[in-house]
Amino acid sequence: MIRAAWIILTVLVLSGCGKASNMVPNVAVNFNRPLTDPSLINLTNSGRAVLIDGYGVSGLVLYRTILNGYVAYDRCSTVNPGERCAVVLDEGAFTVTDPCSGAKFLLEDGSPAKAPATLSLKQYSVRVSGNTLQVTN
């Protein structure tokens, strides 16, 4: 009886390990830029987004929420993240699309908006200190 329980437990643990590899990898992110920087000009209004290359796995999506807060996501789609397919902004900037799978994500909270997406975009911490936008993990 105890042996059967160990076998079942081992199978469950090993089957769960495969799912962890289907996640967006953890990489160090330390982005700091003044809000007056020309690359962030679109963030002066709520409901607007910008794409920043060179940070995270596939770049960053910075978004000014409807309530005038800021959120940051990795551009790496959560659909087949091993492909490192970078999401692109949609017209109106309220959603982004994975050009590899066609999945869509909402920018207010990063949640999936269209299949085959089932997981939210990887979110990073955002802080505004003075006039500087900081994105970290």
List the 95-97 sheet strands across, edge first: 88-89, 95-97, 104-106, 112-114
Residues of the chain with pLDDT > 90, as a percent, come to 82
Read off the pLDDT of each residue in 63-88 and give the average, rounded to a whole number: 96
Q: Which has more confidence, 17 or 75? A: 75
Q: Determine contact, residues 27/57, Cβ cutoff 8 Å.
A: yes
Q: Is the pLDDT of residue 5 over 70?
A: no
Domain assignment present for 1: no
Residue matched to tokens 């995270």: 56
**In the predicted structure, residue 44 carries a pLDDT above the cut 80:** yes
Please say if the pLDDT value at position 70 is more than 60.
yes
Q: Phi and psi (nearest 5°) for 53?
A: -90, 160
The pLDDT of residue 53: 97
Q: Is 60 exposed, middle or buried (0-12, 13-18, 19+ CB in 10 A)?
A: buried
With a cut of 60, say whether residue 1 has pLDDT above it. Answer: no
Band of residue 115 on the pLDDT scale cut at 50, 70, 90: very high
Q: How many domains does the chain have?
A: 1
Which CA distances in Å does 61 have to 58, 104, 118? 10, 14, 19
CA 46 to chain centre: 19
CATH number at residue 58: 2.102.10.10
In a domain, 27, yes or no: yes
Residue 16 falls inside a structural domain = no
- Give a yes or no: residue 76 inside a domain: yes
Domain that holds residue 107: 23-136
**30 lies in some domain:** yes
Q: Is residue 10 part of a domain?
A: no
